[in-house]
Each structure stands twice: as C-alpha cells, then as structure tokens.
C-alpha cells in the first residue's frame, strides 16, 4: 500500500505542477490580450486627432496607420515613439551618425589603380614566349 501512496503522491505533484504552469501561461496570455486592447483604444484615440494635433506630438497620419498595421498583440506605441524621436532629432540636426554622403550607395565599379595597371603592362611587356 505505501508504494501506491507514493506513486499517487508523485502523480499529484506532477499534475499540480502542470496545472500551475498552465495557469501562469494562461494568465500571461490574458494579460497580453488586455494590454493589446488598451493599445488599440489608444490608437483609435490618436486616429481621431486632426493633422495639426498629430504634428504637435511629432507624428503624422501615416505614422498612426503604420502603427495600426502591426500585429494585434504588438505594441504600436514603440513605432510611434521611434518616429517622433527621429523627427525631433532631425529638427536638431542630429543624423544618427550618418552624413548626407552616406545615404548615397557606393559604386559597384571598382576604382582603377593606374599605377598597378602600368606596372602590370610593363611586366607583361618583358615576358618572352617560349
């Protein structure tokens, strides 16, 4: 009889642990869903702002639409915050360490080293046929 008691005790502990893990995951998912609903309410409020009001907080209509197009459980405020920060830094002349010349793609044509070419021609000219 003690073996059955020990076995049932082990099974009940494992079942209890499984239910605890399941409960925590369910609670986390419900919390994430509740936050997503709050984010969407805030986005609806921002969508009702006119363009002047959005400009006052450093955003435009396209920013709000882009943030709304993110996944349902994602945080659209991160996108909005990044866009507003980029504009604020650009107004102050801060370019994230990039120069205006950095935005131009480098040439795909390699630069010719005329000195190396003339040395190769000179060396080739000294070659003799066998």
pLDDT > 70? residue 23:
yes
Q: What is the pLDDT of residue 105?
A: 56
The mean per-residue pLDDT over the stretch 83-112 comes to 69
Q: pLDDT tens across 29-88, in order? A: 999 999 988 988 988 898 899 999 988 888 899 988 888 887 777 788 888 888 888 888
Which residues are CB-contacts of 39 (< 8 A; sequence separation ≥ 6)? 75, 76, 77
Which residues are CB-contacts of 75 (< 8 A; sequence separation ≥ 6)? 35, 39
Number of C-beta neighbours around residue 80 at 10 A: 22
pLDDT > 80? residue 127:
no
Q: What is the pLDDT of residue 4?
A: 58
Pick from 111, 110, 81, 85: which is nearest to 96 by CA? 85
Q: How far apart are CA 42 and CA 81, in angstroms?
A: 13
């Amino acid at each position: 009889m003690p073996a059955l008691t020990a076995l049932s005790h082990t099974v009940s502990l494992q079942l209890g642990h499984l239910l605890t893990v399941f409960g925590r995951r369910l609670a986390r998912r419900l919390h994430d869903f509740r936050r997503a609903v709050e984010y969407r309410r805030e986005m609806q409020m921002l969508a009702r702002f006119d363009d002047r009001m959005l400009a006052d907080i450093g955003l435009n209509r396209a920013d709000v639409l882009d943030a709304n197009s993110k996944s349902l459980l994602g945080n659209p405020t991160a996108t909005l915050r990044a866009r507003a920060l980029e504009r604020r830094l650009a107004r102050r002349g801060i370019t994230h360490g990039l120069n205006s010349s950095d935005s131009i793609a480098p040439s795909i044509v390699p630069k010719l080293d005329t000195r190396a070419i003339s040395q190769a021609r000179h060396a080739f000219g000294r070659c003799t046929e066998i």
